[in-house]
Each structure stands twice: as structure tokens, then as C-alpha cells.
Amino acid sequence: MKLKSQKSSFNINIIWRWVPGFLLSFIAIFALVKLVPVDRAFDLLKSTPFSYYLLAALFTLLFLLVRTLGWRALLGFRPTYKNTFLKLCLGYFINNIFPFRLGEISRAVFMGASLNANPGHILSSIFIERVLDLIILAFFLLIMLPYVVGMAWIKTTAWLILGIMVIGLIVLFFVIRNSRPFENLLSRIGKKSNLLAKLIVPFFLSLLEGFKTLRNPKQFAAGFLGVLASWLVSFVQFSLFLFILTGTSEWWWGAFANTTLALGIALPSAPAGLGIYESSIVAGLKLFNIDESIALAFALIMHVSQFVLIGILGIYALIRDGYSLKNLFSQLVQFKDQLKDEQRSGEMHD
């Protein structure tokens, strides 16, 4: 399925759907202005060498290059590495300029068009990527959290939760290796309840569809390791730059700030996580008594360098595929609604 050129159908309903995200971003920015010495943070930015921004952008590029390996594996190695990289950059770019997390939808649409595949199936691979993100972030957060709060009993609980996660992964891998009986069971359940048919059953069918490409253990390992390696690159980036700015931070403080950032930007927000991005990092670093102005300057360096690099790569990818930003937002919103309708009717699994 491919986006078709058409007149924009932008309407008041779309504007109302913007409100929660923009409201949260406004609250975050308001809190930063009131609670953080913003003028001192900007003074720090002015004195930061331009080479720091370039280095941060290079780390972001490395993150994207490694992340591409993971997503390509989740797609069954069907697209070329270059095609996967450009579609990934395009998705992040769309997320930076449009609300509603439309970057994921754009990745599904554009990759589906290039592979002549159902975008719903591509979207399943992106969903699995997000599941792996959650597992990895939970793993590192549970390891670091006891050291943050200084309570030994939480460490035991954290390792218990990690054990449950590992068992869950093993069970999940067994399910995808023998998915047909589960699909038949879900279909029978869906026929008995309209609520299950419209909500729960399509969700799990989509999940199984995405995991079908991972029946090969080597492919599953490649996807997981690619996503994991991308987070390790990001952790090193955050820890290194935090140490450069403070000179006293522990090696894992930046990684902890990165996990709080990942959890924070999961909330609805204005495009690019405006305000939420910065406030999540400032809040995370507050636990280590790092000056708020330094934390805000650190967050802005990370955010600006990422935004600019992804913008350049995303615009290049968009032009290369023959698209433009004109009417793209309304088309992606319409396609997102269409995907929801297809999930409910089961068309994605025909």
C-alpha cells in the first residue's frame, strides 16, 4: 500500500487530538522555566564548543547505523541495509515534526511500498522492536535502580522480575515456533465475543504475525542484539557527555538519565518530545544532585544534535522516495485510522 496524493482533509477533529500532547509539553516547558535557571543553562550552551555537537551527532549516527541492523533482522533481512537505514531515519524524522507517533506509521507505509508488502505486517516488526526496547530498558533500569535509591531489598526484587522476563521470552519463542494452534484458538475466542474480536484478538494476532519472521533463532538473536547494541551506543553517548559537562559523574548516571528519557517520551507530547525530552533528563539527573542548569544544558545538546542530524537524513530519505511534506501529515493520519479499521476486521491476516 502506498500513500496517494490527495487534497488535505485536515479538520478540527485532528486538532483536538493534538491537545493532550501539546498540553503535556507546555506543562513540562513551564515547569522547566519556573524551576530551572534557564539563563545559566543557555550560558553553558554558548560556551560549549561546536565540536561537542558534532561528536554528539556522530554518536547519533552510530546509533542509527546499529539500530538498522536490528530492524532489518526483524524484517527477515528482506530489505537492503541502505533501504532499511533510510526508512528508519525517515520514521524518526516524521516523529520529530508531526504528533501522534506517526513515524512508526510512515516506516510501515514506506517500507511496505518498497517491498510490495502489507504495511500492517511491517508495522508488526516495529511493534516487536518496541517490545525489545521495553525489555532492554527494563533490564538496565532494574539493575541501576537499587543503586539510585540505596535500598538492598529492591535489588532482589529486580532480579526476580528479570528472571520472570527471561522465562517469558522463552515461552514467547515457543509460541512463535508453534503459532498455528494459538492463531486457531484466538480466532475461536474472537468469534464468541465482539469485544475480544475488536480489541484483544486482533492485537495478539498482529503480535504473532510480527514474530513469524523470528522463527529462525539466528534471526531472532540478530534482531535482539541489534536493538541492544543501539542502546549501548546511546548509553555510552549520554554517560560520556554528562562526564564532559560535570567532570564528576559516575559512568552509569548518563545511562540512567537515558532510561528516564525513554520512559518520559513515551508520554503524549508535541513533536520531537518538546519539553518532555528535557524535563525527563533533568528529573532523572536530579536524583544525583546534578545542578539543574547543567542537566538542562546537557539535555539540549543531546536533543539539538539528534534533531538536526535526523532532520538532514530524513529529508534526504523523503526526497529520495519521491515524497514531499505537503499533505503528508493528513495522509499518514488517515492511514493510521485505516490500519486500526483493518485490525478490527482482521484484513491484515487474510
- Quick check: is 246 in a domain? yes
Q: For 106-157, how does the pLDDT look when each residue is reduced to its tens digit (9 = 90+)?
A: 898 889 888 888 777 788 788 888 888 888 888 888 788 777 765 555 566 6
Terminal Cα-to-Cα distance of the chain (whole angstroms):
15
- Quick check: is 7 in a domain? no
Q: Which domain, by its residues, includes 85? A: 28-349
Residue percentage of the chain with pLDDT more than 90 = 37
Angstrom distance (rounded) from CA 223 to CA 241? 28
pLDDT of residue 57: 96
Q: Is the pLDDT of residue 347 over 60?
A: no
Q: What is the mean pLDDT of residues 26-55?
A: 92
- Quick check: is 113 in a domain? yes
Q: What is the mean pLDDT of residues 160-166?
A: 73
- Quick check: is 49 in a domain? yes
When pLDDT is cut at 50, 70 and 90, the band that residue 223 belongs to is very high
- Quick check: is 186 in a domain? yes
Q: What is the mean pLDDT of residues 5-9?
A: 46
pLDDT of residue 8: 45
Angstrom distance (rounded) from CA 65 to CA 55? 15
Q: How far is CA 146 from the centre of its chain?
A: 25
The larger pLDDT score, comparing residue 103 to residue 11, is at 103
Contacts of 193 (CB under 8 A, 6+ apart): none
pLDDT of residue 174: 77
- Structural domain tally of the chain? 1
Give the other-Cβ count within 10 Å of 13's Cβ: 9
- Quick check: is 141 in a domain? yes
CA atoms within 13 A on the CB side of 331: 17
Q: What is the mean pLDDT of the chain?
A: 81
The mean-pLDDT minimum among 34-38, 117-121, 295-299, 300-304 falls in: 117-121
Cβ atoms of 346 and 202 within 8 Å: the answer is: yes
Angstrom distance (rounded) from CA 16 to CA 235? 36
The mean-pLDDT minimum among 50-59, 194-203, 319-328 falls in: 194-203
Q: Which of 107, 92, 136 is nearest to 224 (CA)?
A: 136
- Quick check: is 2 in a domain? no
The larger pLDDT score, comparing residue 21 to residue 228, is at 228
- Quick check: is 1 in a domain? no
Angstrom distance (rounded) from CA 120 to CA 83? 18
Cβ atoms of 119 and 339 within 8 Å: the answer is: yes
Place of cell 536490528: 70
Q: Is the pLDDT of residue 185 over 80?
A: no
pTM of the model: 0.81
